[in-house]
Amino acid sequence: MLFWIYKIITIGLALIIGAELFNEKKWRIQIALALISIPLILRIFGFK
């Protein structure tokens, strides 16, 4: 149960970061957001 709550939160965070990535105009912040999303995307797919 806890595992699925964690997965949903991770997906939620990734979606929020994705939305911010598309809204953000400064390219440096876009790169930072993109990099932050890497571990989240990997976690969503169950990689450690």
Partner 1 sequence: MSLNHRFRAGLFLFIVLIICFISGKEFRRMTIPDKIYPSKEITKISELAQFNPNLKGTNGNTAVYYFDSGKPGGTLLLLGGTHPNEPAGFISAVLLVENLHISAGKIIVIPQACYSGFTCTDPLEGCPEFFTLKTKSGERNFRFGSRVSNPLDQWPDPLVYSHYPSGQELSGIETRNLNRSYPGRLNGSFTERVGYAIMQLIKNEKVDIAVDLHEAAPEVQIINAIICHEKGKDIAASAVLGLEFENLQYALEMSPQNFRGLSHREWGDSTAAYPFLMETSNPIQGRLRGKTSSDLVVSGNDPYYREAIKIGKFRITYLAEGEPIKLRVGRHIEGIKALLDAFAENFPEKKIVYGNIPAYQEILDKGVGFYLH
The site for partner 1 (CB under 8 A) is made up of: 2-3, 6, 18, 21-22, 24-25, 27, 30-31, 33-35, 37-38, 41-42, 45-48
Q: Name the residue nearer to partner 1 (CB basis): 13 or 18.
A: 18
Task: Give residue 40's region: left, alpha or beta (phi > 0; psi -120 to 50).
Answer: alpha
Coil, helix or strand for 15?
Answer: helix
Shortest Cβ distance from residue 3 to partner 1 (Å)?
6
Shortest Cβ distance from residue 9 to partner 1 (Å)?
13
Q: CA-to-CA distance for 7 and 48, rounded, in angstroms?
A: 13
